[in-house]
Amino acid sequence: MSNFLVPVNDLTRRPGQMSELEIDIDVLTEMGKGAATIPVGEVIELNLRLESVHEGILATGEVDTTAKSDCSRCLEPLRLEIKVDFQELFAYSLEQEDDFLVQDEKIDLEQAITDAVVLSLPFNPVCSEDCLGLCSECGVKMAEDPDHVHQAQIDSRWSELESFRKE
């Protein structure tokens, strides 16, 4: 049984009725497969408004949660605050293959919330917009030593001339 199930028996087939809920949902399976994810054990805070309409139940919500990631420039661990809104109609009858349905006087918000949250995760998360990243040659954090430089590499075609300089 999904922990995203919300009972709507007091709203079913009663157009004009509305209820508001605040729900904390524990994440049981990781959300997202990219650079940032919502890990198992994280809590999703959901402010939900349910409205009964002729076609079904209209769910409008605001999701607050925290994603974990690494900075794409300097590889420091990050915790990203995620705030996203969603709105979905849970229909009484299936008209299209990808419709959400009211089943057994309950709605399952898992797919709607997952879609909204995963689409809002950053593709290349950074710890700050001015993060300098890592040195491409030695891996030193450029923020710790911004004046960090390396001696220019000698073109291999000229490497034999280096022996004259040593003499």
Report DSSP state, residue 159.
G
pLDDT(17) > 70: yes
Tens digit of pLDDT for each residue in 30-50? 999 989 999 999 999 999 999
pLDDT tens column, 54-85: 999 999 999 999 999 999 999 999 999 999 99
Q: Higher-confidence residue: 162 or 17? A: 17
* Predicted local confidence at residue 167, as pLDDT: 67
Query: Are 59 and 10 a contacting pair, CB within 8 Å?
Result: no
Write down the pLDDT at residue 137.
83
In this predicted structure, what is the pLDDT of residue 2? 80
Which phi and psi angles does 19 have, rounded to 5°? Answer: -145, 150
The pLDDT tens digits of the residues spanning 109-153 come to 999 999 999 999 999 999 999 999 998 888 888 888 888 888 777
CA distance linking residue 86 with residue 63, whole number of Å: 8
Q: Are 66 and 80 in contact (CB under 8 A)?
A: yes
Rounded alpha-carbon distances, angstroms, from residue 59 to 53, 113, 134: 10, 11, 44
Model pTM score:
0.80
The average pLDDT across 90-103 equals: 84
Burial class of residue 97 in the structure, from the number of CB atoms within 10 Å of its CB (0-12 exposed, 13-18 middle, 19+ buried): exposed
